[in-house]
Structure 1
């Protein structure tokens, strides 16, 4: 009976963060993000990742950003992003998301007919992106 049941199961290795029992990589064994994954998303994304949205992290859901759950997405920390309820459902209406693996930031791409060439990143929770980098040619830092 056990072998018969196991042939239908998804077999994945669970990787834990350092010496805790908090999994960050769940594969397709679970659809919902774990507590540790949500804490990581709160720190990294700070709020909804769709451009123009100002919903704080505490009002967001874990979104399978790359690829979506319906397209085989995994519940692994690097492939998740925060999205408020209405924005998370945009994935069902043709919106796609991708993750810049250098920065960890999530890009939202509208359906082709709605694409006006706007910014694909939400800068609301990352105002430091608009600051000049520290350096000698920055007159405000030398004052």
Structure 2
């Protein structure tokens, strides 16, 4: 917001921080990235080993899934695999990528043409915080 008692500085006096997502683009994502409920709390899979599909699923879980689980049997004859929290579930999660951009200038223009893209959100946040501290220091100096 521009206050009436202050003049708007030249675009070169500003730095713009933005987070955007490309349209129509998704990436495969880990459970932790999408805050998967199964990853957070664990989950159970009930398998009917009386069927061919059930035997195949149970064999995969026991020998190839590389996940931590306990087995239980129900009175109906199902095998229940109980998976601990904090491990990848069996879903194929998708997420939209985020672009963490910092560029010179403001909404009017980028006079230098300089911009940089951070690879991680934490780096963008750190950069933004350091920039805010520099602004506070400059304001104190006058």
Q: Shorter chain as normaliser: what TM range?
A: under 0.3
Larger Rg: 2
Which structure is higher in RCO with an 8 Å CA cutoff and minimum separation 6?
2
Q: Report the TM-score when normalising by structure 2.
A: 0.19
Task: Identify, as 1 or 2, the structure richer in strand.
Answer: 2
